[in-house]
Amino acid sequence: MGGAVRVRFAPSPTGHLHVGGARTALFNWLYARHHRGAFVLRVEDTDRARSTDEDLAAILEALEWLGLDWDEGPPTPGYRQSERLAIYREHAERLRAAGRAYYCDCPPELLERERQAAQKRKETFRYSGRCRDRGLERGALRLRIPDTGATVVNDLIHGPVTFDHGQLDDWILVRTDGTPTYNFCVVVDDVTMRITHVIRGNDHLSNTPKQILCYEALGYPVPEMAHVSMILGPDRSRLSKRHGATSVQAFRDAGIPADAMVNYLARLGWSHGDQEIFTREELIEFFDIKDVAASGAIFDETKLEWLSHEYLKRQDGAALATLALPFIRAAGLEPPEPARLAPMLDTLKERAKTLVELVAAGRFYFEPPAAYEPQAAATYLTVEGARRLEALITRLEAEPDWSAAALERVYRATVEALSLKLVDLAQLSRLAVTGGMASPPLFEMLALLGRDEVLRRLRRARGVAEGRG
RNA sequence: GACCCCGUCGUCUAGCUAGGCCAAGGACGCGACCCUUUCAAGGUCGAGAUCGCGGGUUCGAAUCCCGCCGGGGUCACCA
């Protein structure tokens, strides 16, 4: 094997990091880490108005959140296309001097007419080559490509894909105003950054033969190519905002842990036997582009949430606290100290698919219920309910031990004395303490909440029940 | 329209390179039951794909060949 693997992810900062882009970045990162190579981040900001620093910052932040660290790239200078204009100019000049590229001054209107004429003839539009041998000194610089023959893209995922030169044309490398075009920048960048494997979206496959011809004109070896399928929406068209959330940040804000997101994205289009859940180390160890599927994949939020839940369930309370803290604060709640918070979250993790749900399910831990579920209140907060609460409160007040086990004993004894079933008293207490009918196991929850707070809520519910009666 | 890619349960996929181990396996979701102080979690079981369609080749095809259909992508002096 020759040199080390060098791959790159090249987003253009014209929006948030899309999950499709994130998956492409992930595959590149995994490939680099697997081969102990380099993951390069390059910013394709040749775009005039559309690129913004805010978008770039958001993309970098999303990559960092996912844990996809880059070995080369911003903030080190030299990884933004806007900083590399001199390099493109130099390569363009080389091609021109060698006769591999030529200037063209065909007016856009003429080109447009020819394009429509070709369309009418049911043919692929192809630049006529009118300016090929006119020896012009200015204009748009076009790459001279062969009229006959074919270029084969040896794709690592799709196998050999042949493009007839009759379908390709002398494309523009540099515009009349002197700015390089995207396809040209990509080639020059990949060459000068010594990229060995280009792993990118399937939407670039059609551009690849043009780029290969450019590599050849420049006299450079062509890197390995791998075109990853698109991520689709439920209607099988490319996933876009009209399908719902598509930015990585949206999922982060929805409370999906980064590791779950990474696992989901990795498994979308890539597989390793029947395994579904992977540690990051396993991902790095097992990942190989040859196991990446060639077909498009629909983004399934339900499965993402399942994975998110699996990750949450595997965390211990302390780790959960770290993950959940920002979400607790975002909900406007005051988190208790870590020693109390951790065991609380432990009781919640089985019943929440995301961190947002975790906080919602455990809201009662942080503040008294603002209201009682109406239907449950109608059933339980009655005269009889008040009587039961009274009996319960009396016994609890007499109980010095506030452990879950002791609380259970008190409840069972009370139930016995009142000739009730445990479920009756449990649901009544749940309603009083949480405001609803679903919660973590009652006795643990009461123990965690503490004697004073529980008694306070029980008494309040008793008051409401009496008021209703 | 031209070119290119793709096509196995609703979804993600295994299997396809070396045809029989596949009357197609796993996972999500869905249904039932068990467990149970609620909701979950967990356990068990189940429904669900004639492998896009049609021809071939072969004793035998999801796997090989041909044709078709469907979906998607690319066709800019955008990226």
Q: Around Cβ A397, how many Cβ atoms within 10 Å? A: 12
For the segment A71-111, what is each residue's pLDDT rounded down to a tens digit? 999 999 999 999 999 999 999 999 999 999 999 999 999 99
Is pLDDT above 50 for A374?
yes
DSSP state of A230: P
Provide mean pLDDT across the span A365-371: 97
One-letter amino acid at A58 equals A
Q: Around Cβ A394, how many Cβ atoms within 10 Å? A: 10
Residue A120: partners with Cβ closer than 8 Å, 6 or more residues away? none
Residue A184 and residue A215: Cα distance in Å, rounded? 10
Nucleotides of B under 7 A from a protein CB: 1-8, 10-14, 25-29, 37-42, 71-79
Are A402 and A451 in contact, with CB atoms under 8 Å apart?
A: yes
Residue A286: partners with Cβ closer than 8 Å, 6 or more residues away? A272, A278
Residue A231 and residue A237: Cα distance in Å, rounded? 8
Nucleotide nearest to A172 (CA to C1'): B77
Residue A314 and residue A413: Cα distance in Å, rounded? 35
What are the distances in angstroms from CA A12 to CA A2, A42, A43, A284? 30, 9, 6, 26
The ranges of chain A annotated as CATH 1.10.10.350 are: 374-468
Identified catalytic residue from A241, A303, A313, A421: A241
What are the distances in angstroms from CA A180 to CA A138, A186, A219, A221? 14, 10, 19, 21
Q: In the prediction, which pLDDT does A410 show?
A: 97
The ranges of chain A annotated as CATH 3.40.50.620 are: 84-228
For the segment A101-137, what is each residue's pLDDT rounded down to a tens digit? 999 999 999 999 998 888 888 888 899 999 999 999 9
A271 CA, B59 C1': separation in Å?
A: 35
Residue A73 and residue A69: Cα distance in Å, rounded? 10
Q: In the prediction, which pLDDT does A244 show?
A: 87
Is A290 among the catalytic positions?
no
Q: In the prediction, which pLDDT does A250 show?
A: 97
Residue A388 and residue A428: Cα distance in Å, rounded? 9
For the segment A170-229, what is each residue's pLDDT rounded down to a tens digit? 999 999 999 999 999 999 999 999 999 999 999 999 999 999 999 999 999 999 999 999
Instruction: Say if residue A180 is preceded by a cis peptide, omega within 30 of 0.
Output: no
* Location of structure tokens 């081969």: A35
Lowest mean pLDDT among A231-235, A346-350, A428-432: A231-235
Q: In the prediction, which pLDDT does A289 show?
A: 96
Residue A430 and residue A389: Cα distance in Å, rounded? 12
Nucleotide nearest to A444 (CA to C1'): B37
DSSP state of A77: T
Lowest mean pLDDT among A122-131, A387-396, A427-436, A439-448: A122-131
DSSP per residue, A409-427:
HHHHHHHHHHT--HHHHHH
A309 CA, B58 C1': separation in Å?
A: 49
Element (H, E) at A39: strand A38-41
CA angle A395, A396, A399 (to 5 degrees): 95
State the average pLDDT for chain A.
Answer: 95
**Quick one: which of A144, A136, A139 has its CA closest to A169?**
A144
Structurally, what CATH architecture does the domain formed by A374-468 represent? Orthogonal Bundle (1.10)
Q: In the prediction, which pLDDT does A48 show?
A: 62
Q: How confident is the model at residue A1 (pLDDT cuts 50, 70, 90)?
A: very low
Strands (E), A119-249: 140-143, 150-155, 159-164, 172-174, 197-201, 224-228, 231-232
- Order across the sheet with A140-143: list the strands: A101-104, A140-143, A172-174
Are A78 and A60 in contact, with CB atoms under 8 Å apart?
A: no
Which value does ipTM take for this structure? 0.95
For the segment A8-62, what is each residue's pLDDT rounded down to a tens digit? 999 999 899 999 999 999 999 999 999 999 999 999 998 766 889 999 999 999 9
Q: In the prediction, which pLDDT does A469 show?
A: 56
A290 CA, B45 C1': separation in Å?
A: 37
Nucleotide nearest to A270 (CA to C1'): B13
Within 13 Å of residue A173, how many CA atoms lie on the same side as its CB? 30
Of all residues in chain A, the percent with pLDDT exceeding 70 is 99
Considering only CA atoms, name the residue closest to the C1' of nucleotide B17: A159
**Quick one: which of A165, A166, A190 has its CA closest to A42?**
A190
Q: How many helices (H) and strands (E) does chain A have?
A: 20, 11
SS3 A152: strand
A459 CA, B34 C1': separation in Å?
A: 38
Residue A469 and residue A462: Cα distance in Å, rounded? 11
Helices (H), A238-332: 248-253, 258-267, 280-286, 301-314, 317-330
CATH number, span A84-228: 3.40.50.620
Nucleotide nearest to A14 (CA to C1'): B79
SS3 A51: coil
A22 CA, B33 C1': separation in Å?
A: 42
For the segment A302-357, what is each residue's pLDDT rounded down to a tens digit? 999 999 999 999 999 999 999 999 999 999 999 999 999 999 999 999 999 999 99
Q: How confident is the model at residue A445 (pLDDT cuts 50, 70, 90)?
A: very high
